[in-house]
Amino acid sequence: MTRIITIVGGKGGVGKTTLVSNLSAALSELGQEVVAVDANLTTPNLGLHLGMHLVPNTLHDVLKGGTSLRSAIYPHPSGFKVLPSSMNINDLKGVDVGKLPEVTLSLIGKADYVIVDSSAGLGREAINAIYASTEILLITNPDLPSVADALKTARIAREANKRIAGVVVNRVRKKSYELTKKDIEEMLDLPVLAEIPEDKNVHKSIAIKKPVIEFAPFSPASIEIRRLAHILCDIPFRYKEPFRFNIIEKLVGWMTR
């Protein structure tokens, strides 16, 4: 069965696009066939994150009926495929966002996972991205406004009879003023599947248009995103530090005795 998972959070800037690009790459590493879809039609960023923002055919063209779905899907070097949206504001003319569920459902049987990047807020685009999925993955930051917006999103998803797989808490700094995992689980009445730490490597990877799990595979954010992919695939996750790091650590330990 193809799992169509829409990443939603309500609030803008919580890290939806970063999660979509990196989770797609992490699932691909596990041997899964993945298509990442940029359903943020007004302010798309997935193509920018992946260096695929100047492609000839986009989701906008598909929704307008001007091109086939197949011609708007492109392979990424990380192993997954991408259905990007156009960054040209003029391409919004004639787009029927109501056809988005039809597009994603047509990918059933053609991939193991379809990971959908939704727009910020709870407008028509975000609602259609929810309806375009078989399940929802909520993303939030560990602060009250983000969790409050995630709660609104969860209610809409439940009203649409969509299964909510769980919650991803992004940009965790472990500060005293942040909401804890327990706080968030109690507020949303949902399990927190992953807590992705604040990681400077994420910003660096976006700058060079490469998923962080490839740019810095052993960084804190990369490890947690890989763990999330294992959870979704129901595969035990056993993190092993790279051999190179173990050697350096032993040498430093021996020299400081």
93, with CB counted inside 10 A (0-12, 13-18, 19+), is exposed
Global pTM reads 0.92
What does the domain layout of the chain look like in residue ranges? 3-255
Contact (Cβ atoms closer than 8 angstroms) between residue 11 and residue 140? yes
* Cα 101 to the center of its chain, rounded Å: 18
CA contacts within 13 A on the Cβ side of 10: 18
Topology of domain 3-255, CATH = Rossmann fold (3.40.50)
Tens digit of pLDDT at every position of the chain (257 positions): 899 999 999 888 999 999 999 999 999 999 999 999 999 999 999 999 999 999 999 999 999 998 999 999 999 999 999 999 999 999 999 899 999 999 999 999 999 999 999 998 888 999 999 999 999 999 999 999 999 999 999 999 999 999 999 999 999 999 999 999 999 999 999 999 999 999 999 999 999 999 999 999 999 999 999 999 999 999 999 876 654 545 554 554 555 55
CA distances from 252 to 121, 218, 219, 249, 256 (A): 49, 19, 20, 5, 6
